[in-house]
Structure 1
Amino acid sequence: MSSSSRGPGAGARRRRTRCRRCRACVRTECGDCHFCRDMKKFGGPGRMKQSCLLRQCTAPVLPHTAVCLLCGEAGKEDTVEGEEEKFSLSLMECTICNEIVHPGCLKMGKAEGVINSEIPNCWECPRCTQEGRTSKVKGGRERHLKKKPKPPIASAEGPAVPSPSPQREKLERFKRMCQLLERVPDTSSSSSDSDSDSDSSGTSLSEDEAPGEARNGRRPARGSSGEKENRGGRRAIRPGSGGPLLSWPLGPAPPPRPPQLERHVVRPPPRSPEPDTLPLAAGSDHPLPRAAWLRVFQHLGPRELCVCMRVCRTWSRWCYDKRLWPRMDLSRRKSLTPPMLSGVVRRQPRALDLSWTGVSKKQLMWLLNRLQGQTESRGRLQGVAELRLAGLELTDASLRLLLRHAPQLSALDLSHCAHVGDPSVHLLTAPTSPLRETLVHLNLAGCHRLTDHCLPLFRRCPRLRRLDLRSCRQLSPEACARLAAAGPPGPFRCPEEKLLLKDS
């Protein structure tokens, strides 16, 4: 019976599912591979629809809806105890014909099947093995199910030799080639070794190889039959005494390297300056200059500015001015897409709120690295001064990058960051930290890893005016009161418990 007559599912491969038990299945996403960066939870567009590279299941199993192609029933290996009975009642998928059957439902007699021990419920069915089909799975470990059949009895016409499969023939040829390569003597060895081997064999080169050696200008010595080379790049080796010479071509010589051309760095042309006037359809310019339009745009909110950017190209360029975007609020966004991050960089805000978003560490560092180096005409660096990162999974490594890429912060919000503790406060207030002299407002509310040992470290910040330590479980009110009484230069006042304020 052909596979097409067995049912509509014959020959169609079933998609396997996770085993949910291996080490890759139980771990979390890395957030760094190209599949994770594509996910919406990490700020990507979500087009690939692939799992993390580190979460690729090593032993995928058949889906629960898989049934036997012959009897139409699912796997019943849990109902028996013996190993052979369990195997005969379990579902097996052939890697060649993709048919899912019970091994007990196949009536192939003494035919031989091959199991793949690396993937569960995977084998080469006896029918494909008997027909000599090649497997699609390469490099997998195989185990024979039954004993090998006895060699066929030679008939009167001649011995009946079974035809091996093409894959096994290729494997045998590879094994013979490896054995020949192992017998090749080292080219740097002395000629006495090759002479002794050739004397013991008692044979010489054949007549077919002599012209090639003569053309090379080297006459073979009497009784030498080791390793010879000619201009064609071929070697002649005698694997055993009395055997014929075998020759094979070595790898082709590498092509000559092309001459190195002179390299030139090609950069895009600089952006054209923004127009100072608004051109009209009649060909003339609007009487109001660009500075007057910007003063009008300063009275608009973000939504109205986005509407104005769709009016014309000139207004679109004017509305990107960073004086119109002193603050940007992207809090509580499920994901941040690359166009959103590019829009933030183009607007260059002074205050940025990324609290409770799905921004990854790479996206945050990419963003901060492009918000710090904009130079004004007065020569003063214009970077982000207020940053809110509440609810993000920031570690000490992220804070080190934050100190390097945003050295001019005056207000920092790290509230409800689960990984912020005493070492994080030490990083922020260390002698090498640039934020030690610039921090004015610091919010660490809800950071449950903070203890009383970190409170004396805040005395290193002389400009600190507001310190929020509310909802920190391991901080005692008495220690906060002592810090408020001593404080950095001048005492603090406590309108609420664990909230320290200082009048400017």
Structure 2
Amino acid sequence: MSLQQSSDVHVPSCRSCDKRLWSHVDVSRCSPLSNQVLAGIIKRQPASLDLVTGLSWSCLSALVSPTLPCLRLLDLRWCEGLKDAQIKEILTPPGLESSRSRLRNMVTLRLSGLDVSESTLRLLQRHMPQLQRLDLAHCKDITDSSISLLAAAGSHSRNNLTELTLAGCSELTDGCLSYLKRLSSLTLLDLRGCKSISRRACDAFISDLSHVALFCMMEENLIQRLD
């Protein structure tokens, strides 16, 4: 369900409360969006939730709830005040066992533009075993060391990640590609705008994986697997 932009966004009632209508909620074009409205959406238990870009933590704190739906998609791009500590609160809210996060079924997570670091990646490894698509574009604290966590032996992401967006991550260097080669299911790798990653290193990355699968350069530093 997509809620259209209006000056008075509200959660409909009556027949529109049917959970079948709320499996996919897109409020990315709704403004304003309040904590109260978001709390109402959470009660409908959607499977995916696209939020308004740039929301503040005062609104997003509604996600800190033991009744947070078991989302498969969550879009938090460019939300203000959302850092490692807030991600931890969302994943393991008060009153919920830390080993049983409500987001354990997450498949797609978009965190572009957030001040998140290795601390958040460790949380994702622990609480999102089914994660396949991860967007970390323009996350300024993501480093080569961060990527090593995603590719660590025994990690879920090493085997499950199919799409990884790292565009604009200014701290990444050619060295991160040695870790990225270990992501066995990777089909799309976006390194556009990573100024310290060279075209030569990307070409070598593609060449090194040629014995496993065919990859090509779709754009400068945008690598896609050919099925």
- The CA distance in 2 between the partners of 1:457 and 1:327, in whole Å, is 30
Match of 2:108, as an amino acid? E
Q: 1:497 and 2:220 equivalent?
A: yes
Deviation at 1:342, TM superposition (A): 5.2
Give the 5 Å matches for 1:226-237.
none
Q: Answer yes or no: is the 8 Å Cα contact 2:109–2:135 preserved in 1.
A: yes
Which residue of 2 is the match for residue 416 of structure 1? 138
Looking at structure 2, the residues matched to 460 and 389 of structure 1 have their Cα atoms a distance apart, in angstroms, of 22
Residue 443 of structure 1: how far off its partner (Å): 0.6
Relative contact order: is structure 1 or structure 2 higher (C-alpha 8 Å, sep ≥ 6)? 2
Distance 2:60 2:216 in 1: 44
- CA shift for structure 1 position 347: 3.9
Post-superposition offset of 1:363: 2.4
SS at match of 1:492: strand
Letter in 2 for 1:401: L
1:329 aligns with 2:50: yes
CA contact (8 A) 1:322 1:347 kept: no
Which of the numbers 402, 406, 411 marks the counterpart of 2:128?
406
| Rg (Cα) greater in structure | 1
State the TM-score, normalizing by the size of structure 1. Answer: 0.35
- Please say if 1:426 is aligned against 2:148: yes
Indicate yes or no: 2:2 matched with 1:301. Answer: yes
Report if the CA contact (8 A) 2:112-2:138 is conserved: yes
Equivalent position amino acid for 1:482 in 2: A
Matches within 5 A, 1:60-459: 300-303=1-4, 310-312=12-14, 315-316=16-17, 318=19, 322=23, 325-330=46-51, 331-337=53-59, 340-341=62-63, 346-358=68-80, 359-369=82-92, 373=101, 383-459=105-181
Superposed CA RMSD = 3.1
CA drift of 1:415 comes to 0.9
Tell me the alpha carbon deviations over residues 141-193 of structure 1, each in whole angstroms, 9 at most, x when there is no partner: xxxxxxxxxxxxxxxxxxxxxxxxxxxxxxxxxxxxxxxxxxxxxxxxxxxxx
Q: Distance in 2 between matches of 1:419 and 1:308?
A: 36
SS at match of 1:480: helix
Q: CA deviation at 1:491?
A: 2.7
Matched position secondary structure for 1:460: coil
- Unmatched 5+ stretches in structure 2: 26-45
Of residues 190, 194, 197, the one that matches 1:475 is 197
SS at match of 1:424: helix
The match for 1:145 is: none
Unaligned runs of 5+ in 1: 1-299, 375-380
The AA in structure 2 aligned to 1:452 is D
Distance 1:310 1:450, change over 3 A: closer
The verdict on how the C-alpha distance between 1:485 and 1:499 changes in structure 2, with shifts beyond 3 A counting, is same
- Say how many residue pairs are matched: 197
> Contact conserved, 1:308 with 1:315, CA < 8 A, in 2?
no
Deviation, 1:317, is 6.2
Q: 8 Å contact 1:309–1:319 — kept in the other structure?
A: no
Alpha-carbon distance between aligned partners in 1 of 2:109 and 2:159, rounded to the nearest angstrom: 16
Moved more, 329-338 or 419-428: 329-338
